[in-house]
Chain A
Amino acid sequence: MSSGYAILSLDEVETTPHRDCELIPVRHTLGFRPAGVNAWRADAGGRLIPPHEEDSGNEELYAVVRGRARFTVGEEQADAPAGTLVFVPPTVFRTATAEEDDTLVFVAGATVGEAFNAAGWEEIALAEKYRRAGRPDDGRAIMEQLVMDRPDYWASHYNVGCWEALAGNPDAALQHLRRAKELDAAGESTQYFREDSDLDSLRDDPRFEELLG
């Protein structure tokens, strides 16, 4: 196989828990850059896609590859057998549960009018999995790669800061968060700094309060 392409089975990707769901981190695994791409897997009755709105501004397309899902989008519910495509604009609430065992849903998303930038939430999920399994160095390697790939992007540093906060390393966390603030000229991070539960362990630290301004 040449290096300009790759073959991947979604079933062979290392999965990770994310908000009580099973995430298949496709973009992270492939290094795909034009859009965010991932997949989710669940058995009958299980939560397939975490309840959320896309505060990133991404519009998203979900494709049911296998099994059967029940989607909730806004106030509506719909049955979604394999072959169903669901489009969700960024600000609309969505979630899905599996109706059959081994249901698999693929998703792609990006923001209209913007070059796609991976913020790294999938990397946090993977790094957390490793940290909890007693492999913090493997987790840190994933997060540091994120900053190496995009050293000038505030969200890369912000997410490394989040992970270090979760890992109980306030000094390293604050160093990355400070860098995120410096790079975030547009103030996109402000709401995250105020509300992100990943940062709760820092909230009593006077250095963090200083960052909040």
Chain B
Amino acid sequence: MNLTHIDDLDRIELPEGFVWRPVRRRFGIRAFGTNAYTPGATGQIVEEHTERRFEHQEIYLVLRGRVRFTVDGDDHELGPGELVFVSDPSLRRGAVALGDDAAVLAIGGKPGQPHEVSAWEYEFLAIPSLREGRYDEAKRLLHEALEAVPGNASTIYNLACAEALAGETDAALEHLGEAIAADPELLGAAQDDEDFSSIRDDPRFPR
């Protein structure tokens, strides 16, 4: 039987302080988005974000412990068996665990559309290795991400970060250019991104 316990899922601790427990990836689910989250060092359990980019509706169900959700500026303290349904993708949502044992299950997707696996799942996998200086591993994971979701601007941007940090100037500049061509908003982000310190003085660096 294809079964696991939330505590046995992979733990991917992200810089924002929450721990991503990949559920969809564990089971190979493709029909809808689903992941679990547990608190990291800061107590954050659900990243503060909107769903503007993917236009997903989301349900966050508390499986264990107590969790304080903030949705559209309002706080709601929930326990096991209680959920938040965010139907409006533009609303900012996030959550903080009120104890170490908390766990949240998220279900999401875009109404009226067949589900597509979100590129962030692959990018998030690469973040710990990127932050811990394991650039070859980060690059490998980001290349895998691009195979799964080709042309994704944010993934190409993160690949450029990994290359810049690894001292691969030519590859970093090429991918940064590609990322900005796919999403011009990344031009602004690149100007202040510390990951590009080593290549910012290069005359080819996009301005």
Say yes or no: A78-B85 contact (C-beta < 8 A), given A34-B56, A110-B109.
no
Closest to B24 in A: A61
Enumerate chain B residues within 8 angstroms of A10, measured Cβ to Cβ: 81-83
Query: In the bound complex, do residue B87 and residue A106 qualify as a contact, i.e. CB atoms below 8 Å apart?
Result: no
A113 to B112, CA, bound (A): 11
- Give complex CA distance A80, B23 in Å: 16
Docked Cα-Cα span, A115 to B36, in Å, equals 23
Residues of B within 8 A of A78 (CB): 1, 3
Stretch at the interface among A14-22, A63-71, A189-197: A63-71
In angstroms, Cα B28 to Cα A14, docked, is 33
Task: Tell me if A63 and B83 are in contact (CB < 8 A).
Answer: no
Residue of A32, A59, A114 touching B59 (CB-CB under 8 A): A32
Residue-wise, chain A 1-38 has the 8 Å CB interface mask toward B (1 for contact) of: 11111111111000000000000000000111111010
Q: Is A211 among interface residues, defined by CB-CB distance under 8 A?
A: no
C-alpha gap A77/B3 in the complex (Å): 11
> Which of A5, A106, A112, A113 has the most chain B CB atoms closer than 10 A to its own CB?
A5
Say yes or no: is A73 at the interface (Cβ < 8 Å to chain B). yes
Give chain A residues whose Cβ lies under 8 Å from the Cβ of B57: 32-34
Given A30-B59, A37-B59, A85-B6, A8:B115 Cβ within 8 A: no
B 91-126 binary contact with A (CB < 8 Å = 1; else 0): 101000000000101011111111100000000000
Q: A32-B57, A59-B30 are in contact. Are A85 and B114 (CB under 8 A)?
A: no
Contact of B78 with A7 in the complex, beta carbons under 8 Å: yes
**Interface residue A74 (Cβ < 8 Å from any Cβ of B):** yes
- Interface contacts (Cβ under 8 Å), in number, total 159
- Residue ID in chain A nearest B86 by CB atoms: A5
* Of B69-77, B137-145, B166-174, B188-196, the one with at least 4 CB within 8 A of chain A: B69-77
Q: Does A109 contact B (CB under 8 A)?
A: yes
- Quick check: A31 and B105 within 8 Å, CB to CB? no
Interface residues of B in 20-46 (CB under 8 A from A): 23, 26-34, 36
Q: Is A86 an interface residue (CB 8 A)?
A: yes
Tell yes or no: B88 within 8 A of A by CB: yes
Known: A2-B72, A66-B80. A35 touches B32 (CB 8 A): yes
Report which of A83, A104, A115 forms a contact with B7, defined as CB distance below 8 A: A83
Find out whether the CB atom of A86 lies under 8 angstroms from the CB atom of B115.
Answer: no
Q: What separation, in Å, do the CA atoms of A2 and B2 have in the docked complex?
A: 39
Known: A74-B1, A116-B109. A61 touches B34 (CB 8 A): yes
Cβ B105 vs Cβ A106 within 8 A: yes
Q: Are B29 and A59 in contact (CB under 8 A)?
A: yes
Bound complex: CA of A148 vs CA of B47, how far in Å? 37
Out of B32, B82, B85, name the residue touching A116 (CB < 8 Å): B32
CB pairs A–B below 8 angstroms (27 shown): A5-B88, A6-B84, A8-B82, A8-B83, A10-B82, A10-B83, A30-B85, A32-B85, A33-B112, A35-B109, A59-B30, A61-B27, A63-B61, A63-B63, A65-B63, A66-B81, A71-B1, A73-B1, A84-B3, A85-B27, A108-B34, A108-B107, A110-B32, A112-B31, A113-B31, A115-B112, A115-B114
| Residues in chain B within 8 A of chain A (CB atoms) | 1-7, 9, 23, 26-34, 36, 56-57, 59, 61, 63-64, 71-72, 74, 76, 78, 80-88, 90-91, 93, 103, 105, 107-115
Q: A8-B84, A9-B83, A80-B3 are in contact. List 17 more A-B contacts (CB 8 A).
A: A2-B71, A5-B87, A6-B85, A8-B85, A10-B83, A32-B59, A34-B107, A63-B105, A73-B2, A77-B1, A83-B64, A85-B23, A87-B2, A112-B115, A114-B114, A115-B114, A116-B111
